[in-house]
A and B are shown apart, each in its own frame.
Chain A
Amino acid sequence: MKRRVFLKGTLASSAVAVAVGAGILNPRQVLAAWPKPAFEAKSMQEALNGALGSDLTDPSDAIQIKAPEIAENGAVVPVTVSTTLANAESISILADGNPTPLAASFALAANTKGSVSTRIKMGKTSNVVAVVKSGGKLYSARKEVKVTIGGCGG
């Protein structure tokens, strides 16, 4: 009896998987090509230019960065960036002490809240920098995170 229920379950879930596989929107269709120069850039300026087209940002306290004061493990640093800036079109997260500072860039729809949470790797004590594009302008905030064990694998 249990085996029959188990098999039924497997059949159902694989059918869903096939449907999902057939129906999804592949990210490559939605986004512009992955910005290689931005992610391989070794300086903050190059990374910002590559990802956002400019490295000129206005510091803003309307951007909050929630990250630990001291990261126990540099390979997994939880970061939440939220902004009260209206019409946030994108949020980018950088770590200025990393060999390649740009970690992630998120493009938001009009009905998406200006807040993203993820976890990043940090090579050493440095600043997490959040850049928000709102109304065509770039705003930034930074927060220092102390890292005891570096997370880049070097």
Chain B
Amino acid sequence: MAKGTIKIKANLSGDVCNVKSLIKHVMETGQRKDAKTGKVIPAHFIQELSCTHNGKSVLSANWGTAVSANPYLSFEFSGAKPGDKIVLSWSDNTGDSDSAEVTLS
């Protein structure tokens, strides 16, 4: 499992929680060739993400190779309060995954 790839910030304004995250991931398209060997660099990209608020899904996403490397993601949801737990997790096409948790304050 990958570790520490997710930087996540969740800001509370009233009951609206704004989530911003930056994930460290190569998001390789599988269309590039290695300059030295001429071989195609295999695709390596995040396919699925999910974000939960106190265990309940607020966002789930399917991504393809067209999402930029080191992907940025931001979205908002309502019904949040201090102390709530936000968990963001991803899994990629090689079976790797990671997740990060933040508590609203």
Contact = CB atoms under 8 A, between A and B. Distances in A.
The answer to whether A and B assemble together is: yes
Interface of A: 16-17, 20-21, 23-28, 30-31, 34-35, 38-39, 51, 75-78, 80, 95, 98-100, 102-109, 111-113, 115-122, 151-154
Chain B, interface size category, equals 35 or more
Given A26-B97, A34-B62, A80-B74, 18 more contacts: A27-B60, A27-B89, A30-B60, A31-B50, A35-B62, A76-B68, A105-B62, A106-B61, A107-B59, A109-B59, A111-B79, A112-B75, A113-B75, A113-B77, A116-B75, A118-B72, A120-B67, A152-B29
A34 B47 contact: yes
Given A28-B91, A113-B75, A116-B75, A20 B99 contact: yes
B104 interface: no
Contacts of A38: 62
Given A34-B48, A121-B67, A152 B59 contact: no
A152 to B, nearest CB: 6
Contacts of B73: 116-118
B12 interface: no
Given A20-B100, A24-B87, A107 B67 contact: no
A30 B50 contact: yes
B64 A39 contact: yes
Counting chain A CB atoms within 10 Å of each CB, the highest count among B3, B48, B69 belongs to B48
Given A26-B91, A75-B68, A152 B76 contact: no
B68 A121 contact: yes
A16 B16 CA distance: 26
A48 to B, nearest CB: 13
A102 B66 contact: yes
Given A95-B66, A121-B29, A153-B32, A25 B87 contact: yes
Nearest to A100: B64
B55 interface: yes
A34 B92 CA distance: 10
A25 B50 CA distance: 8
Contacts of A77: 68
Nearest to B85: A23
Contact of B61 (A98, A100, A105): A105
Contacts of B97: 26-27
